[in-house]
Homo-oligomer: A and B are copies of this chain.
């Protein structure tokens, strides 16, 4: 295919794959798309290691990194008080609710003290300072794109990237946010509809993509949200997007590190089985609806905290839940979930990531032929 984005990023298909799994990133890049590694879960050392692995497996083909840089986070996390300040800002009732939840579902409690400290260290990385470390590590590799998933990229990120000639992308959920990103000097906008997995707004891709395209023209826009097939990729390009950004579809690939219990849930799920909930990160994020989201969003819940405090509460717990679910614990299976978009209803088979790319490209061509057949005789 020939789009501005293909030429600019040196790829065959304007298909960007967001994944926390390095194998998916490399597979998509090697298949002619553009893999983007989600860096938020990693320590700087671990990220460096992952990127080195990718460098060794893509033979110089282009890939990128996505760093979560939230616009607004809990003040305890920005105050410089470190882990202890963050832990102190979490009310006891949240830990109590969690302990009762585990008891009710028959899931053994993890070592919360250890989990708290580990997660607080993770939470510390979704601050501007934490993100900057990850950005520095990323820019030491031959990356072709650095993306910011929440809020305007810190001026430092844009500056550091520009010095190395690395384009900066930003995910947006409204035309207003897109305008702000353009003003901040971003090179590529990802317009992400409310049907997307993870952190989303609530304007749908069908409406958001053309609005953002008009708002930021002539800057290129990738459409995201709900896209898992080639016909949807054709739809996105019909809307004026220069390419697509997909996250969910890789979660059920062979390479994905998705836990088997959650993968099985995703393969069985319909498009109705997701919910936008603050229960995992503190910001509204679409995910599989499960006992976890029902309980946190239910009447007995103390209510999710802000970001990153809710991440500290939730992620250690979810790790334990996922682990225990694998051993067949039914309560843990009810609770288990993961971030995924409404297109989970279209994710019904396990394929290699490479095959997903090829299938999307084939399906894209078929959709364009169908459109041509309609217009030719018109």
Contact = CB atoms under 8 A, between A and B. Distances in A.
A201 B271 CA distance: 11
A203 B378 contact: no
Nearest to A275: B202
Interface stretch (A46-54, A65-73, A158-166, A365-373): A365-373
Interface in A210-256: 210-211, 225-227, 229, 231-232, 234-240
A375 B368 contact: yes
A184 interface: no
A43 interface: no
Contacts of A365: 375
A343 interface: yes
A12 B374 CA distance: 11
A272 B206 CA distance: 13
A194 B203 contact: no
Contacts of A211: 271, 345-346
A205 B206 contact: yes
Interface of A: 1-3, 12, 174-176, 193-195, 201, 203-208, 210-211, 225-227, 229, 231-232, 234-240, 270-272, 341-343, 345-346, 364-365, 367-368, 370-378
Given A203-B272, A203-B342, A238-B371, 12 more contacts: A1-B374, A1-B375, A176-B270, A204-B205, A206-B206, A206-B232, A207-B226, A210-B229, A211-B345, A235-B236, A368-B371, A368-B372
